């Protein structure tokens, strides 16, 4: 019986835990606490504990979690312990990079073939994977029992490719094209919008490196506005015309003394 659905934020954090735990495994660490994971990944220990509850592994108070069991449980929860064969459509620069990234197989993704419409690419091998004609996608998917697809095409053809994948009984699509796909409700789609991520990163960097407006100072050199405001304090101030001091008004005591005289 499947457990409760894992919230999206937890799903995104689980791979972080996995990479950290695999590193601990390689160093012979057998037990780890939520606090240690939280410190290493800059997360609140309470949140780590809530996320790890979805694995079904229960940690011991004041001891922690068994690292080996936790790694295996995360692999099973994310489906990484089963090889998922996938077809990739779009053997361009991005598609070629994905085909050559061997670590995907460590996490259960095995791209077995690529598809394209470019006659110059069809029939060749890219990182040991054959590039086939897109027209043969449905036939190959049925024959090889493949239900996962990766789209790395330009945005203008991505929807047409998704339609072909749906007809080929592809049930999950990993989309790298910068466009929102329209597919039936039963088809799972994960969009990776690299342009949005880059826009966010670029904007944050621009704000951090924001340079003050540069203007000419009194001697002709360029200096930031903030610097000019600081330097202006050392400049001689314009002297104001001094007015003669007014004599203070007589007090009642002074008037009394004057009358007495």
pLDDT in 10s for each residue of the chain, 261 residues: 456 788 989 999 999 999 999 999 999 999 999 999 999 999 999 999 999 999 988 888 888 999 999 998 998 888 776 668 999 999 999 999 999 998 888 788 889 999 999 999 999 999 999 999 999 999 999 988 899 999 999 999 999 999 999 999 999 999 999 999 999 999 999 999 887 888 888 888 888 888 554 444 545 555 554 444 444 454 455 555 555 565 555 555 554 455 444
Residue 198: the pLDDT is 85
Per-residue DSSP letter, 43? -
pLDDT score recorded for residue 231: 47
pLDDT of 200 reads: 85
DSSP string, 86-123: EEEE--SHHHHHHHT-GGGGGGTEEEEEEEES-TTTTT
Q: Is 198 exposed, middle or buried (0-12, 13-18, 19+ CB in 10 A)?
A: exposed
Q: What token pair was written down for 159?
A: 């929807």
Q: Output helix, strand, coil percentages for the chain, rounded to the nearest 5.
A: 45, 15, 35
Q: From CA 84, how far away is CA 107, in angstroms rounded? A: 9
Are 173 and 191 within 8 A, CB to CB? no
pTM beyond 0.75, yes or no = no
Structural domains in the chain, sorted by start = 8-78 (1.10.10.10), 84-192 (3.40.50.720)
């Amino acid at each position: 019986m499947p457990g409760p659905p894992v919230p999206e934020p937890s799903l995104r954090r689980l791979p972080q835990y996995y990479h950290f735990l695999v590193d601990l495994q390689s160093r012979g660490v057998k037990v780890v606490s939520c606090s240690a994971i939280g410190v290493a990944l800059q997360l609140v220990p309470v949140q780590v504990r809530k996320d790890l509850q979805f694995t079904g592994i229960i940690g011991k108070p004041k001891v922690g979690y068994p690292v080996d069991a936790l790694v295996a449980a995360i692999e099973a929860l994310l489906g990484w312990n089963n090889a998922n064969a996938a077809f990739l459509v779009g053997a361009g620069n991005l598609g070629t990079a994905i085909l050559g990234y061997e670590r995907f197989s460590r996490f259960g993704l095995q791209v077995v073939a690529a598809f394209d419409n470019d006659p110059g690419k069809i029939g060749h091998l890219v990182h040991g994977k054959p590039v086939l004609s897109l027209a043969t996608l449905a036939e190959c998917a049925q024959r090889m029992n493949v239900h996962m697809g990766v789209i790395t095409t330009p945005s203008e053809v991505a929807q047409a490719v998704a339609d072909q994948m749906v007809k080929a009984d592809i049930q999950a699509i990993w989309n790298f094209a910068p466009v929102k796909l329209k597919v039936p409700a039963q088809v799972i789609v994960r969009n990776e919008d690299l342009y949005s991520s880059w826009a966010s990163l670029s904007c944050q960097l621009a704000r951090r490196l924001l340079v003050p407006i540069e203007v000419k100072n009194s001697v002709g050199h360029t200096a930031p506005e903030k610097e000019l405001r600081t330097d202006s304090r050392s400049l001689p101030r314009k002297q104001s015309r001094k007015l003669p001091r007014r004599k203070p008004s007589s007090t009642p005591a002074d008037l009394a003394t004057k009358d007495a005289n």
